[in-house]
Amino acid sequence: MLKGSKSDDLLSSTHCLETRGMPAVFLRLQSAREQVALPYSSLIKLELKNDATAVELSFVTHRVMITGKNLTAIYRAVAEAEARLIAVLSLDFPEEARGSSSNLLVSEIRIEPLEPEDRRKR
């Protein structure tokens, strides 16, 4: 088996976050409406709200807002370039995983492309 292909190399918390112990090239974002992969090399700012309910990622070409609860793990994984996938929790996921106050929960991912004039301001 190739190194890095073992399932225990990937960590997930209620299927909202997949990480790997080595830096990733792309960050994949997945919601019911879309899937987008953005390169870490174009990430210029990362911000976690004090109550850990929102993470904002500013890329050269896009702005991404992730909302939910207990998002500190996402902030840390992205800051270390170890997050491979961030996904909205499926509505059919068991209710006990949604209700626990200590679980990471991604309820929405908004991905907004920046207009050329907004890109110049960055």
pLDDT, average across residues 101-113: 89
For the cut 50, the answer to whether the pLDDT of residue 92 exceeds it is yes
Total domain count, the chain: 1
- Domain assignment present for residue 56? The answer is yes
- Note whether 89 and 107 are within 8 A (CB): yes
Banded pLDDT at 52 (limits 50, 70, 90): very high
Banded pLDDT at 96 (limits 50, 70, 90): very low
Share of the chain above pLDDT 90, in %: 65
Q: By residue range, what is the domain housing residue 98?
A: 13-121
- Domain assignment present for residue 55? The answer is yes
For the cut 90, the answer to whether the pLDDT of residue 11 exceeds it is no
Banded pLDDT at 38 (limits 50, 70, 90): very high
- Domain assignment present for residue 4? The answer is no
User: H or E segment at 64?
Assistant: strand 62-69
Alpha helices in the chain (DSSP H): 72-79, 95-99, 116-121
